[in-house]
Structure 1
Amino acid sequence: MSPTSQPTPVPEPDSAPGPAALQPLLPSDPSALAGYRLLGRLGAGGMGVVYLGRTDTGALAAVKVTHADQADQPDFRARFRREVEAARRVVSPWAVPVTGADPDAPEPWMATAFVPGPSLGEAVRAHGPLPERSVRILGGAIARALAAVHAAGLVHRDVKPGNILLAVDGPRLIDFGIARATGETGLTSTDMVVGTPGFLAPEQAEARAAEIGPASDVFALGCLLAFAATGRPPFGTGALDALLYRTVHDEPDLAGLPEPLLDLVRQCLAKEPAARPTADEIAVRLTEDTPGAPADWLPAPVVSTIAARSAAMLALPDIDATEVPTAPPTKSRRGFLLLGAGAAVLAAGGGAYALWNSRRDGSDADGKPPAPKPRNTWAIGVLADLSGPAQEIGRAQERGARLAVERFNAVHKGKPFTLELKVSDDRGDRGGAFAAARRLTSDPSVIAVLGPTSDDTGINALPAFEEAGVPLLTTSAGYNLFTLRGETGPPNTTVLRAIPSHFMAGTFLAWSTTLLPQVRRPGVLQERTDDQYSWQYVSGARFGFRQAGLEPHFRVVPGRATDYRSILGEMIDAGIDTYVHCGVRSTAVLAARALDELGFTGPRFTGQHVFGSKFLKEAGSAAEGWFVCAPVIDPVQRAADTKQKPADRKATQDFLDAYRRRYGADPAFYTGESFDVVNLVTSWLSSNAAKGPLTRKGLWEALRKQKYSGAMGGYTFDKNGELSGVGTFLYGVQKGAYKFLGAAPAEPANTKSGKS
C-alpha cells in the first residue's frame, strides 16, 4: 500500500503474523486489554500496534490497538468505526470474524480471530507457486468471502497476498481497514489512490472513485490468482507509478498460468469493470470440478509451516490469574484493563474456529454456584442461509435483524444492557446445519435466535436449540415438525413460527382460488423435488378444496420430470380450468412455459417456494398472470395502502425510512418480518430487564404469550408456538412484477353452492 493511500488505522503486516514473528511486549505496552491477556506483539506501525491476545478460556486473537494521538485526529474514529462495522457485516467462513471492539475507547481497539498460518505472500515466497488444485480452492473460498463482502454492500478494496491467511481447512480474508460501502466516497479524497499497487483495478489506479465497486475486488482477485499460480504479480514489480501505469494500459503477464485457469483470470483482469465476472460466478467456476476434500488442499511444505506455528501456539505459557483492580487504573499502560466479553477463537490444526464458550464454573467452596450477575451485553443470533440456494431470503433476514438490534441500541442507550447481533451461515447445507446452530447456542450471551431460512437445515439444527433451551423464531421455515411433534412426542418449547405451516399455507392457497367465481375444476400438481414441502401443500390444498365443495384433479410427478408439456397437456385434457403448482421454483418455470405453449388461459396458482425475483426472471413472460401465495408482505405497498390504520401505516413507514437510511434501497421480502420478530424479542427484554437477571429459561413461553404489533402487522401464537390467524398473502404477476392483492381468505370465498 502506498504511503499516500493508508486510511486504515493500523497497517497489517504483509506477511501474516505467526509465532515466529511474535515479539515481546515493551514496558509501555499493556498486559491486558478488554478481557484479552496480551502475550506479545504481532506488528506495529505509526498508527498503532497489533498484539497477540488470549482470553481466560485460552482462545487467541489478534488485537489491534491505536495510539491515543491518532484517535484524536479528525475523522480517525469515523474510519476506525467504519472498519469495525464493515468487518462485522461480512458473514463468511472464509473471512476472519471480529471477536470484540471498542471504537470509543481512549485508544480504540478491535480483536479478530487469530489464524496461525502464513499469508499467501509469505507462503509463495518461501515455497514457490501453488499447484492448480490449491489455486482453485484458494480462489473459490476467497471468491465466496468477497461475495459475502459485496452482499453486505461493501467493497474490500485491498485484496492482496498479505491479506489472505492460509489454514489447513481453507484460506481466510482479513483487513477491512479500507473497505467501503458501495458507491460511498466520504472520508477519502476523490483523487487518492487507495489499495496496494500491483493488486489494484484500473479504476482504482486512476482514482475514479465513482467506478470503484465489487468488480474492483474481482480484478484484484484475478491478480491474486495469477500470483498464487506463477509466483509473481501479473503487472510486475517496481516503482509505484510504473505499476499503476501498467495496470491501466498494459496486458497482464500470465505466462506459466495453468491453461484451465487462463480464461477465467483474463476475464477477471478485463480493463472495463462491466466485463468482469461476479464473485459468485468465480466461486462456481473455480470449484465445480475440484476433486476431493479441502483438508489436503495445500502442498506439504506449507502444511508443515502451519503445523509448526500451531504447535508453537499451544506451547505459549499459561496465563496467570489476574485480579480485577478495585481502584482506577494508573497512567501506566501496563496493567491497563478494560473489562469486556470477547468471543473465543480456538486455533486448532491451523484453522480458526469460532467457539462461543461459557464462563468457568465459579462455584464456591461448598459447591454452590454464584448468584447470576447481570450481563452488560446480550446477543440476538441469526441462523440463516447467507451463501447457499436460499441466500436471497437469508440475507434479507439478516438485514432485518441487524436493523432491529441497531434500533434497540439507539433507543435504549444508557440502559442496563446493549444488544449485539451474532450471525451463523448454514450455507443451506443440512449436513453442516447442526454445527452452524451450535456456534450460536453454545454462546451464553445469545438469548434468542432468528432462523432458520430453510426447512431441511432447520430440522437438522433443531436439536442444538432444544438442548440449550434457546428460543428459535422463524419467518420462512414452514415444515410442520418444527412445532407439531405428534401425540407421543414432547411438546414444542423451542420454536415460534411467525408464518403458517406448509399445510395451512396450502389450505389458504386453495381458498385463494375460490376468490375467482369461474373456478370449478382445479388441477393440482404435486412434484416431488422437495417432497415434504409439496406433500404438505397438497394435503392442505386437498382439505381447502374439500371445504369449498370443489373436486380437484390431482397429479403426482417425480422431481426429475421435465416434460411438462405432456404432463400438463394430460391435465388440460382431463378438464381442469385452474392450475395449482405444489412444487419448487425450477419446476414452476417449466410449468409456466408449458402452459403458455399449450395456450392454457385459466388462472395459475403456486406457493412460497416459488415466490421471489428468480421466478419472474426465469419464467419471463410466461409468469404473467400467475397468482403466488407467500407468507410475507411488500412493505412499500403496505405503507401506501390507505386502508391500513394510520398507526399501522406509520409503523411501516418508519421501518422503510430506517432501512433506506441504513442500506440505501428498499427492503427485500422477508426483511420486514425478520425486523418485527427480533423487535418482538427486544420489546420483551427491555420490559423485563429491571425485574432481575435475564435468562433463557422460560423465555420461549414468555415470548409465546406476547401480542406484538410491528411494521408488517400483528403477531400472536397459539399454545404450540404456531402463528395465529392467516399469515398468507396473495400476489399477482403483472408486467414482470408482483402486485400485492391482499391477505389470503380465512375461509372459502366462493363455492359450488354459491356461498360468498
Structure 2
Amino acid sequence: MTEKLTGADPARIGGHRLLARLGAGGMGVVYLGRAGSGELAAVKVILPEYADQPEFRARFRREVAAARRVDSPWAVPVTGADPDASAPWLATAFVPGPSLAEAVAMCGPLPPRAMRVLGRMLARALTAVHDAGLVHRDVKPGNVLLAVDGPRLIDFGIARAPEETALTSADMVVGTPGFLAPEQAQAQPASPASDVFALGCLLSYAATGRLPFGTGAVDALLYRTVHDEPDLDGVPDDTRALLERCLAKDPAARPTAREMDEALAEETPADTADWLPDTVVRLIADRSAALLALPDIEETALDATTDGEPTEVPAQAPRPSDRRRFLLLGGAALLAAGGGTALWAAQRDDGTAPTASSRARRWILGVQADLTGPQKTVGQAQERGIRLAVEQFNSRTGKPFTLTLKTADDQGDATRAVKVARALAADRDLLAVIGSTGDETTGASLDSYDAELVPQLTASSAQSVYGVSEPRHFLQAVPGYTGLPSTAAYSLYTQGARRVGVLVDRDGGIPAWQLGHTMFQNLGVLKIAGEPRVAPRLADNLAPVVAEMVAQRPDGFVYTGTPARAAAVARALAQTDFDGLRSLGYPAARPEFLSDAGAAAEGWQIFAPYIDPSAAPVRAFATAYRKRYGSPPPYWAAEAYDVARMIIARLTGTGGRPSRTKLYDLLAKGTYKGLVRTYAFDKENRWLTSNEIFRYEVKGGRYSYAGKVSF
C-alpha cells in the first residue's frame, strides 16, 4: 500500500518523478516513482545520515551490483541506480501485487498446485542468483511479491558472494529468524544450500500458513531450527519428501536450487493467473486498482527550488489523467487475467471533506475480540470497558462528533480473525480498532489492518513477535512478555531472593517461553543466581523436575506454563521442604489453578499487567461499570477502557477528522496518562516504554491484590 509524499520528500530521483511512499526502513525510504517512459518503479533511497558512512555506502553499492548480476524473469530487475550519488538510490521494476506473507495472512495457505508453481519459479530465481556467484541470504515471504504471471524475488540488500568479507561482526546472525538455516543460526557462513533451506521454510509456510520451526523469541526460534525437526503437517504428500530434504540440518544433504526446479516438475504459467486462487488474484487486482486512487502529485520541498532555481516537471512526463489511464489499462489486464475478478478504485482516507453528493462520514471505533470462544471472559470484559468509554464520550454536551462502536467476534479462532479483521478494515469510516484478545488472533489480524493503514491497538496480547510480518500501524498497549519480567525480577530481588529456580513449561507455548526465558535473563542482570529448567510439552509428570530443582537449595521458584500443570507443580513443591518465594506466570493464573492446587496455591505470587478492578486508581471506573452493567468489572476491563479513552483523546484533539496514518502517528508519538498506567511507545518497536505491573498473592483461596510494582 502507498502513503502520500511528505513536504520533506524529494520531487524526483534519478529521472524518476516520485508519486508516493511505499515504505520506510532503518536505512532508507522506498518510493513509487515514474520514469520518463511512463514505467513505474520502486525507488530505494538511502537516508542522508547513512549515505555519509562509508560502510553503509559500500553495502548499498554491493546490493546494486548483486541485483544487476541476477538474470531471471522471477527476480525483480534493476532499472537504474547511482550508488555514488549524494543520496544513493536504486530503482527496480514495480510489482503492484502483495507479498507472499500478506497473501497467506489475508487469503490463507496456497493450494497444492499454486505452492508447487511458486516453488519451481523461485527455485529458478535462486538458480540465477547462485549461477551469478551470489547467496541471497534472506529468502522469506516478505521478499516474494506475487503477480498474475508469477512471483518475483526481491531485496538483494544482504546478498553477496560466499567468499566476500562481511561488513558485520563475525558472530552476527544475518537474515530473518524462522528462515535461517542451522548454519546461519550458528553464525556460520551462508551458502547456496542456506538459500535452499530458506526456500523450504517458505514453501512450508505457503502450504500451511505456519513456520516449520514455530514463532516466538528469537533465541528459542534459532534453537529449534538447529535442534528440532520441522513441523510439516499439512504439506501436500507429493512435496513433503522434497521439503524434508530442503530442511536437512546438513547443508550437503539438501538439493540444489536447480534440482528443486526439476523435482517440482510443475508447468509454469504462460502470462496467466490460473496458478493462483481467485482470492489472491482479487488481492493483486485490488492493489493495482488502488493505484488509481493516488492523489495528484503535490508540491514537495524540492519542487519549489533546486539550489535556489525553480524546478519544472519534465515535458515528457504524463499528465495525471495520462497516468490514471495508464494504470487503468494495467488494472484491466489484471481483470482479464483473473477470469472475472472485480476491479475497484480504492477510496482514500485522507481526511478531506466529503463532497456535497456524498454522505456524511461516520466516526467509527472498531473492537475485535473473543466474545464467545475460549477467552470470552477477557474479551467480553474488554468490549464492555470500551463500550462504556464510548458511551461516556457520546453523552458529553458540545462533543465535536458522535463516535460509533463496531464490534466483531473472532471467537478466539485465527482463521475467523482474518475474516472479521478484513471486514472491519474494509469500512472506510473505521478510524482505529482495539483488539484482538489473544496472541494468535492478534497476530492473524495484523496484515488485514496494516494493509488498510488502520491503527490497531491491543490491550491484552503481549507477544513480542507475530509471524513473519512487521506491522507498521500496530501498538501494543500492554507490557510484553519480554518486558514484564524485568519488573517481576526486581520485585523478587527486593523481597530477598538471591537464588531462583525457573521452570519453563513448553506446554504453555510462546507466553511461557518468553516470560520464563526473559525472567532468567533479568535475574542475571540483578546478580541473582538462576537455575533454569525446561519441561517438554509431552512430559506427564513434573514432580521429579521440581524435586531436582529444590535440591539446588533456591530461595525462589518461578513457573511459567499452563493452569493445570501449574497446579501440579504447586502440589509437588508443597511436598518438599521448600519455603521460599513462589511466582507464577500470569497466563497460568486463572481460577482453575486455585481450584486444582487447593491449599498448595497459598502464597504464590503473580505479576500481571492488569490492575485489580477494585484498586483506588480505577474506583470511579468500577462504579460506572457496575452502574452500567449491574456487576463489578472483571480483570482487563479497565485496561481496554483506558485504551479507548486514549484514542478518543487523540481524535478530539486534532481539530477535524484525521486520516488513519495521522491518527496512528498521534497515538504512537504521544503520551497519555490513563487510569491504569501512562501510555507512551518507543520509536523503534512501538512497545510501551514503561513496565508498570501489578502484584497479587494467593491468600485464602483467592488472588489478593498487593499493589503496583514499578522498576
- TM-score w.r.t. length of structure 2: 0.48
User: Normalising by the residue count of structure 1, what TM-score does the alignment of the two structures yield?
Assistant: 0.46
